[in-house]
Structure 1
Amino acid sequence: MKKIILSIVAIAAIAAMPSRMMAQATENTDAAANIVTPLTLVETQSLHFGTMSALTATGGTCVLATDGTRTSTSGVSLSTANPASHCASYNVSGAPAVGYSITLPASFTVSNGTKTMSIAPVAKAASASANGTTGTLDGTGKDVISVGGTLTVDAGQETGLYQGNFNVTVAYN
């Protein structure tokens, strides 16, 4: 009799189980993508450190701040003669009210054909409160970037017009 009762209990337990065990679950999930206006960058003025001279025995620097002010150190003497100094300037446009990053080289060189000088550039977006590598487009999708830097002048730097180029890149954050 015990065997019959145990058999009935076992059969009842098996019958009470669902016919299929749930070993997985499914959830329907939404997916989306947002396409924004591509960033554009247009140079409106090139970078020029202006006119200066260097002492024979002492080199120095010419610093062109992003607000356009120019100072010198050590053996560099600034001149007001033309060409005048000015920061590089760029118009940035894209999606309204979106942040972006600015990439500049750590340094680059300019040459008069035989001698070189090094420039360490620095940028400031009009939307930023200080020099740096970020900006935010305004409500119409626009901003302005100013690039200055530090020009290193060797002692007795050879005279001439020194020229070169560098890349400025902007990308959405």
Structure 2
Amino acid sequence: MKLLDPNIFIRRLLMLTTVYFFYIGIAIAQPPLPNRNITITATQPLHFGTFSLAGTAGGTVSVGYNGARSSTGGVYLSALAPTAQPAIFDIKLCQGRNVTITFSPTTILTGSNGGTFTLDIGPTEKGVSGSQFAVDNNCDFITTLRVGGTLHIPGNSPAGTYSGSFEIIFEQQ
């Protein structure tokens, strides 16, 4: 009968035990995080409604992210259609993620009959440019971001339809 060296037997037993526990550890590992794709859809443009200038003075029209509209200077707000509305973006991103929004503070709108207006963008319901917010839903629902702005109208601006665009960058953390 051949005797086994006890040191070799213990080493083999420890090695077998280590392999067994390593295998068990892999079997109960945490599942991977959900996909981190972000989808942004612009569902409503920023609109300042119908207004006119009274006299030669300029002024401003502001639309808050909640849709409230106000004016300063020689700007008269009309109740005629189209009405004022904030821009709305739908954000689809899995729960527990953070999003930072950044945007240029101003852009220029060009009129159909010449003339230009300056648009100050923001604030948004989540804050100003550079603000960060958490997405507070699961991967199947949408977080809405509303954006307002202030339109600067120079005196003697020609009547017409003014349009332009602005870019918002959504960066997930």
Do both share a fold (TM > 0.5)? yes
Aligned AA (1:160)? G
Q: Which runs of 5+ in 2 are unaligned?
A: 1-31
Q: CA–CA distance in 2 between the matches of 1:124 and 1:167?
A: 13
Choose from 111, 136, 139 the match for 1:138: 136
2:34/2:94 contact within 8 Å kept? no
Aligned AA (1:71)? S
- Tell me by how many angstroms 1:35 deviates: 7.8
Aligned AA (1:95)? C
Percent identity, aligned pairs only, is 26
Q: How does 1:103-118 map to 2 (within 5 A)?
A: 103-113=102-112, 114-118=114-118
Q: How does 1:25-40 map to 2 (within 5 A)?
A: 36-40=35-39
Q: CA–CA distance in 2 between the matches of 1:162 and 1:79?
A: 16
Larger radius of gyration: 1
1:123/1:145 contact within 8 Å kept? no
- Tell me by how many angstroms 1:134 deviates: 2.4
2:137/2:143 contact within 8 Å kept? no
- Tell me by how many angstroms 1:102 deviates: 1.0
Instruction: Give the alignment's TM-score, normalised by structure 1.
Output: 0.73
1:102/1:168 contact within 8 Å kept? yes
Structure 1 position 81 matched with structure 2 position 80: yes
Counterpart position of 2:50: 51
Deviation per CA, 1:43-99, whole angstroms, max 9, x where unpaired?
110111111011332111001011000000011111111111111101001121211
RMSD across aligned C-alpha pairs, in angstroms?
1.9
Counterpart position of 1:171: 171
Counterpart position of 1:153: 153
1:55/1:156 contact within 8 Å kept? no
Q: Which runs of 5+ in 1 are unaligned?
A: 1-32
Structure (1 or 2) with the greater helix fraction? 2
Aligned AA (1:170)? F
2:98/2:172 contact within 8 Å kept? yes
Deviation per CA, 1:141-164, whole angstroms, max 9, x where unpaired?
431110110000111221000011
Q: CA–CA distance in 2 between the matches of 1:109 and 1:57?
A: 21
2:64/2:123 contact within 8 Å kept? no
- Tell me by how many angstroms 1:118 deviates: 0.5
Q: CA–CA distance in 2 between the matches of 1:150 and 1:58?
A: 17
Structure (1 or 2) with the greater strand fraction? 2
Structure 1 position 97 matched with structure 2 position 101: no
Q: CA–CA distance in 1 between the matches of 2:90 and 2:123?
A: 13
Instruction: Give the alignment's TM-score, normalised by structure 2.
Output: 0.73
1:112/1:163 contact within 8 Å kept? yes
Aligned AA (2:118)? S
